[in-house]
């Protein structure tokens, strides 16, 4: 999965250059979905039109991953910039366009077995 996370890290940089910075960009392997990863994102530019932003992010994910790899993602979760849990995560983890590996934590109230944090 680290290879997939690295390719998505590169796409995160590309999207940030095109649309503006992300406040949060990460892959989560939740405890309740042990074989599927969530792409969890937050950015000010997403707030203007969530549907358009979701389509844009999904198209970039499809550019980066093979069809088989895309099936390892369960969803793209958009986190509102005003979500208080986002601020907590950002205070705990500081990274921009990197790849921080975190295991057995709780994010946004969900138990997460494994996470790759690209930007926080």
Whole domain around residue 33: which residue ranges? 2-119
Query: CA 33 to CA 74: how far, in whole Å?
Result: 9
Element (H, E) at 36: none
Condensed to tens digits (0 to 9), the pLDDT of residues 3-15 reads 999 999 999 999 9
Condensed to tens digits (0 to 9), the pLDDT of residues 72-117 reads 999 999 999 999 999 999 999 999 999 999 999 999 988 999 999 9
Decide if 107 contacts 93 (C-beta within 8 A): no
DSSP letter for each residue of 90-104: HHH---SSS-EEEEE
Decide if 9 contacts 97 (C-beta within 8 A): yes
Q: In whole angstroms, what separates CA 73 from the centre of its chain?
A: 11
Roughly how many angstroms between the first and final C-alpha of the chain, as a whole number? 20
Give me the number of domains the chain comprises.
1
């Amino acid at each position: 999965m680290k290879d997939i996370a690295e390719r998505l890290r590169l796409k995160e940089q590309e999207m940030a250059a095109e649309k503006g910075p992300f406040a949060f960009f990460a892959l989560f392997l939740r405890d309740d979905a042990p074989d599927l990863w969530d792409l969890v994102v937050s950015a000010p530019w997403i707030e203007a039109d969530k549907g358009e932003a979701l389509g844009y992010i999904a198209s970039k994910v499809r550019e980066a991953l093979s069809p088989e790899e895309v099936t390892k993602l369960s969803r793209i979760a958009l986190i509102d910039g005003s979500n208080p849990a986002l601020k907590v995560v950002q205070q705990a983890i500081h990274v921009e366009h990197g790849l921080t590996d975190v295991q057995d934590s709780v994010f946004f109230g969900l138990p997460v077995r494994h996470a790759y944090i690209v930007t926080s």
